[in-house]
């Protein structure tokens, strides 16, 4: 049941699955800083990711299932060759059967681009547990299979790493909620079925909003970009002197700059994933590529966030 619940979460809520490393924690931050605290960290660039070894093989397969016929795609690639591929040619609808090819050599620059795309997105890739199988039937609370009218879709990524001692380990990863994975997808499809696709290299998503909610503490804080007004929306609700403070304000874009840096410095993405209004304490993080993820922070981090938001409330009141 736990495995099926987790599968449903990943199928129905893809936005909360991703672990995203944008910035690192900066030394010197005092406990529970306020918005005016001069010790609040500056924005720093994320360091190059530490990989588990040398990437020596990539297996990628995906399908939209019954929602999109002829969408099956599979490619297995090494630094030297396209080991095998199964695909429907993008510009040829005349073939009644899926096309197969391989093995065939690839150019060094083709592998270099694939390796680069995976290296850049590696910090947000989440390992699937050993034995994970998303093709297994989904069961309800009584153990009965749930019929999916529009099912059969899948997304699989297996990376094989070679360590310094020559040992190889293959790891399966979940589909990240990060637009940079579309660059990898386009590179793999262009390698298998060259059509002159435009390859877009995206920057890492930037945090541009946050929502903190505590059921037990009876408080919630929201600081999010409001597109229609091109400003930020700040909402603060928390117990205050026997009553409940309720502050709602539109604030200029510049009001996010310093708090945004501080929120990013907390590396909130490292915490376990959660569901807003389902789990008792959650933080939802919003990014400039229109993705989001929800996590469950520890009590110390929640306390720091609470104090910071109280300071912001006094500032915007």
Q: CA 312 to CA 317: how far, in whole Å?
A: 8
Q: What confidence category does residue 92 fall into, taking pLDDT thresholds of 50, 70 and 90? A: confident
Ranking 60-64, 110-114, 126-130, 192-196 by mean pLDDT, the lowest is 126-130
Q: Is the dihedral of CA 47, 52, 55, 59 positive or negative?
A: negative
Q: Where are the domains of the chain?
A: 2-46+206-316, 54-192
Query: For residue 264, which of 177, 216, 204, 219 has the smallest C-alpha distance?
Result: 204
Cα–Cα–Cα angle for 197, 202, 203, nearest 5°?
165
- Using the predicted structure, report yes or no on whether residue 42 has a pLDDT greater than 60: no
pLDDT reading at 266 higher than 50: yes
CB neighbourhood size of 115 (10 A)? 17
Query: How high is the pLDDT of residue 285?
Result: 95
Integer distance in angstroms from the first to the last C-alpha of the chain? Answer: 47
pLDDT digits (tens, 9 = 90+) for 232-244: 999 999 999 888 9
Higher local confidence (pLDDT), 205 or 38: 205
| Residue 189 scores a pLDDT above 60 | yes
Q: How confident is the model at residue 116 (pLDDT cuts 50, 70, 90)?
A: very high
With a cut of 60, say whether residue 148 has pLDDT above it: no
pTM of the predicted model as reported, rounded to 2 decimal places:
0.65
Which one has a higher pLDDT value, 136 or 64?
64
Per-residue pLDDT band for 33 (boundaries 50, 70, 90) equals very low
Query: Which structure tokens are listed for 232?
Result: 């930020």
On the question of a cis peptide bond just before residue 103, with omega within 30 degrees of 0, the verdict is yes
Q: Could you list the beta-strand ranges (E) of 15-129.
A: 54-63, 73-77, 81-87, 99-101, 104-105
CB 157 within 8 Å of CB 173: yes
Position 139 pLDDT exceeds 50: yes
């Amino acid at each position: 049941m736990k495995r099926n619940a987790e599968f449903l979460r990943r199928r129905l809520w893809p936005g909360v699955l991703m672990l995203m490393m944008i910035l690192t924690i900066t030394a010197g931050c005092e406990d529970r800083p306020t918005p005016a605290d001069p010790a609040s960290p500056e924005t720093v660039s994320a360091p190059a990711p530490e990989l588990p070894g040398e990437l020596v093989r990539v297996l990628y397969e995906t399908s939209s299932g019954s929602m999109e016929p002829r969408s099956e795609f599979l490619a297995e690639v090494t630094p030297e060759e396209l080991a095998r591929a199964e695909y429907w040619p993008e510009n040829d609808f005349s073939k009644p059967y899926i096309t197969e090819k391989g093995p065939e050599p690839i150019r060094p620059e083709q592998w270099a681009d694939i390796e680069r795309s995976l290296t850049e997105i590696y910090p947000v890739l989440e390992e699937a547990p050993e034995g994970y199988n998303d093709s297994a039937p989904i069961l309800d609370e009584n153990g009965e299979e749930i019929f999916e009218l529009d099912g059969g879709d899948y997304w699989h990524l297996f990376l094989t790493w070679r360590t310094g001692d020559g040992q190889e380990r293959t790891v399966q990863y979940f589909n990240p909620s990060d637009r940079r994975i579309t660059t990898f997808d386009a590179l793999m499809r262009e390698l298998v079925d060259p059509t002159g696709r435009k390859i877009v290299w995206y920057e890492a998503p930037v945090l541009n909003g946050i929502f903190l909610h505590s059921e037990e503490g009876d408080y919630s804080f929201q600081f999010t970009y409001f597109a229609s007004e091109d400003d930020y929306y700040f909402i603060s609700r928390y117990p205050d002197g026997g009553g409940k403070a309720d502050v709602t304000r539109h604030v200029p874009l510049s009001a996010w700059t310093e708090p945004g840096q501080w929120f990013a410095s907390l590396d909130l993405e490292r915490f376990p994933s959660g569901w807003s209004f389902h789990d008792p304490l959650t933080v939802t993080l919003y990014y400039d590529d229109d993705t989001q993820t929800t996590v469950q922070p520890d009590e110390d981090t929640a306390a720091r966030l609470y104090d910071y938001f109280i300071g912001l409330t006094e500032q915007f009141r």
